[in-house]
Structure 1
Amino acid sequence: MREIYRQTIHLVFGVLIAFSVLIFKKQLIIPLIVSIVIGICLYFLCKRYYIPIVSDLLNLCKREKEDGKGAIYFAIGMLISLILIDDIKAVFFGILVFAVGDSLATIIGIRGKLKIKYFGKTVEGFLAFFISASLILYPFYGTYGIFVALISAFIEFVSKKIRIDDNLYLPFIVAFIINHQINICSLMNFI
């Protein structure tokens, strides 16, 4: 049940931040930096002290031995995307695909029956990510959106083997692939 709460928060805040990117664009960089600094401070404070609401929320949603690092990594991943990717629409979709796909992959994957032990994931979780990402991207990018959905779902699927929190890199990777659509499509046609 704890993971459901966690992923619901991940989903809601991720979607809100994605739409904030569309509205505020690069102006979100400073608030994100401030949020990251505050998040890091709260992370260390909560390890030593009880902070009303914050500690309760962390206790409700934390994974074992994590204490909210995922949220900080997610903010850093979004910041990296905002700084390095010029196309705001690509950043928006990178964050949105990750927020929705990652949350649904976990929520559905928890109950999945087809486990791939090597990756520590389920086929159902992979499909949840892929289908949700496809539904988000296809109306705007057509078959290229499905390609991006497949690549991002695969990266999320193998993320435990990468050993870097996927919150850090997946929003950026999705945004990067979308941002370089013309170059990648040209390469795919060349091959």
Structure 2
Amino acid sequence: VRFIFAAISISILLSMFLDKNMRKYDITNNEKKGKDIKRETYRDYFQISTGVITIAIFAFEGIKGRILILLAVLIIYLAGNILYLNNKNRIADIVYMMEREDTKLGLGSMYLAAGFLLVLSFTRSLPVIYISAFMIMIGDSLATIIGMKIRSRKLIYNKRKSIAGFMAMLLPSFLFGLFFFVYFYSAIYALGGTFAESISNKIADDNITIPISIVVLHLIIAMA
């Protein structure tokens, strides 16, 4: 099953990185991030609800929840393509309300799906899956919401990210991680994932940098 997750994740990422139009949309997506507070808020609240549902699926189904997540990704991907081709309807209007201006429909969702499937392809550990879902879908959204609404100093190494946004992701992620890890490991995952989010606009989408950082940390901890 993990090979299937890896194949789908890598296929999505390659198609997005190698396609010139997709790279152009990605640049636009990063430039527009945080500019429209109302649109970003809708988008982030939806992403938070997605994170809650994802965590609930694994809480009730255990590791078998991976299959439900895979089915959900395929269905959403299909629905997104249908809406992209037939965008003159009420459902498409609602979906576009949560997309950044001049950005391809579903771009963020594709990155999120690819990133989370990447995590699932590397681990069967439920605690790691839980912290991944929280940081990718909830912590990242909290960073954006708080970062937009609370004025604070910018990070020294990235002037597009704020200390308020950084802490809004770091602290909840650390506290959530305490349900599954000892203090040290919870702090490592929270700090690593939050740092990955804080440098995302310089490297790649945060839906990619966060899961990669968690996978790397998981592998290092597993070998320790």
Do they superpose with TM above 0.5?
A: yes
TM-score (normalised: structure 1) = 0.81
The answer to whether the 8 Å contact 1:8/1:103 transfers is yes
The total of aligned residue pairs comes to 183
**SS class of match (2:178):** helix
CA separation of 1:25/1:46 partners in 2, compared to 1, >3 Å: closer, same or farther?
A: same
The answer to whether the 8 Å contact 1:119/1:158 transfers is no
| Structure 2 Cα separation of the partners of residues 107 and 38 of structure 1 | 28
The answer to whether the 8 Å contact 2:170/2:190 transfers is yes
Percentage of identical aligned residues:
25
Q: Which runs of 5+ in 2 are unaligned?
A: 1-37
TM-score (normalised: structure 2) = 0.71
Q: Which residue of 1 aligns with 2:43?
A: 6
The one-letter code matched in structure 2 to 1:83 is S
**SS class of match (1:9):** helix
The answer to whether the 8 Å contact 1:78/1:95 transfers is yes
RMSD: 2.5
Question: In the TM superposition, what is the alpha-carbon distance from 1:182 to its structure 2 partner?
Answer: 5.2
C-alpha deviations, 1:79-134, integer Å up to 9, x for none?
22222202122111211132221011000011333234845211211111111111
Indicate yes or no: 2:189 matched with 1:148: yes
Q: Which residues in structure 2 correspond to 1:38-57 (within 5 Å)?
A: 38-50=75-87, 52=89, 54-57=91-94
CA separation of 1:122/1:51 partners in 2, compared to 1, >3 Å: closer, same or farther?
A: same
Q: Which residue of 1 aligns with 2:25?
A: none
Indicate yes or no: 2:152 matched with 1:113: yes
Q: Which residues in structure 2 correspond to 1:123-134 (within 5 Å)?
A: 123-134=163-174
| Structure 1 Cα separation of the partners of residues 66 and 89 of structure 2 | 28
**SS class of match (1:120):** strand
The answer to whether the 8 Å contact 1:2/1:62 transfers is yes
Indicate yes or no: 2:210 matched with 1:170: yes
